[in-house]
Structure 1
Amino acid sequence: MKLLLDFFPIILFFVTFKTWGIMAATAVAIAATVLQIGYMWRKNGFVEPMQWVSLGVIVVFGGATLLTQDETFIKWKPTVLYWLMASALWLGHYVFKRNFIEKLMGAQVSLPAHAWGVLLHSWACFFAVMGCLNIWVANHFDTDTWVSFKLFGGLGLMLVFVVAQGIYMSRFIKDKSEDSV
């Protein structure tokens, strides 16, 4: 259910784009994200900071798209979001001496410090590259191709990356039977 909720705005964006075009899809994405945040606030009593950032980015860039009738702004939105995530990871590490990946996953997985560092830099690099890739596709292909890439290419690359991270992490996870020996 959480996965569906997370992808609710992008799925609605895609369906609306295919039916009514980029301006309608942008308006729907803004409304869907506002509804998503409202639902999470009501259900959990809080909203994660990155979800607030995502809301702000869609409202600013989506709003600029609708006000100017220029789709360039909505095409930049994923890049800005990816680069903000990469920046947050690196700023957390270099400025605040915190590993936000470890903070996020540390309660579920026990890894050595160097493995957490590799994960942090891997995720930050992934987000930085995804931002570049999004803007490249937006500037070199038509809007229909960009929207398809945003949904299928972006999610596909994310899935491959997550699987690769899982394989990397599995090297450090001990079998419970090893602990009892």
Structure 2
Amino acid sequence: MKFLFDIFPVVLFFVMFKWGEGNGETAQALAQQYLSGLVGGNAAITASQAPIMLATAVAIIATAAQIAFLLLRRKKIDSMLWVSLAIITLFGGATIYFHNETFIKWKPTVLYWCFGAALLVSQTLFRKNLVRLMMEKQISLPDSVWQRLGVTWGLFFLAMGVLNLYVAFNYATATWVNFKLFGFTGLMFAFIIAQSLVLSKYMKDSR
């Protein structure tokens, strides 16, 4: 359930973009009605711009709604969710204001690089392993393994950021939107499974 909650904005972004692609005139009218006031110079929103702009607006609202939901339930809000809200608001807002999809295409890279940098910098400079802090209640590992795990996750997020830029600026926007949901989700699952297989022997040893 937490995984579905985490990717909720990404799923809505995908759904809205696909709907906008298939309903060009309606999407343009909707974007013009609700987003025109947020566009710099009150420029008209074209039919080709409408899908990505509507999807971006929905993603911003969905991320804010996640935090509001957790606040209402008095649940702890992960710092990563606050970072995600700040980044989607900044880059998504720039996409709408400048009616330029380049900004929202950079958003996943900036987010992944923030995660990767946080993991590597905290472990290297402050001797604080964030992966260990999140997982040590579920599994007991040697210090050397925790260190490798932290570095591996950090490098994985940095690589994901690079991959996003490659897909975003070498393929059509529709292809990037597809990859944003299915490609990155699949890679994340594959990476987690690979890590679980590596850690399985330590889990057995700890029993």
Q: TM-score, normalised by structure 1?
A: 0.94
- Cα distance between partner residues in 1 of 2:62 and 2:81: 13
- The residue that corresponds to 1:9 in the other structure is 9
- Cα distance between partner residues in 1 of 2:134 and 2:76: 16
- The residue that corresponds to 2:155 in the other structure is 125
> Any residues of structure 2 matched to 1:30-179 within 5 Å, and which?
30-174=60-204
- 1:44, distance to aligned residue in structure 2 (A): 3.3
- Cα distance between partner residues in 1 of 2:141 and 2:101: 43
- Cα distance between partner residues in 2 of 1:37 and 1:16: 21
- The residue that corresponds to 1:23 in the other structure is 53
- 1:175, distance to aligned residue in structure 2 (A): 5.6
- 1:11, distance to aligned residue in structure 2 (A): 0.5
- Cα distance between partner residues in 2 of 1:162 and 1:4: 16
Q: Give the share of equivalent positions with the same residue, in percent.
A: 49
- Cα distance between partner residues in 2 of 1:101 and 1:81: 17
Q: Which runs of 5+ in 1 are unaligned?
A: none
Q: TM-score, normalised by structure 2?
A: 0.83
- 1:97, distance to aligned residue in structure 2 (A): 0.7
- Count the aligned residue pairs: 177
- Cα distance between partner residues in 1 of 2:75 and 2:201: 37
Q: Which runs of 5+ in 2 are unaligned?
A: 21-50
Moved over 3 A (4+): none
- Cα distance between partner residues in 2 of 1:66 and 1:88: 28
Matched residue SS, 2:69: helix
Deviations 1:3-62 (A, max 9, x none): 221111111000000012111000000000000111112223431111100000000000
CA RMSD of aligned residues (A): 1.1
- Cα distance between partner residues in 1 of 2:73 and 2:190: 31
- Cα distance between partner residues in 2 of 1:18 and 1:104: 36
| Counterpart AA for 1:3 | F
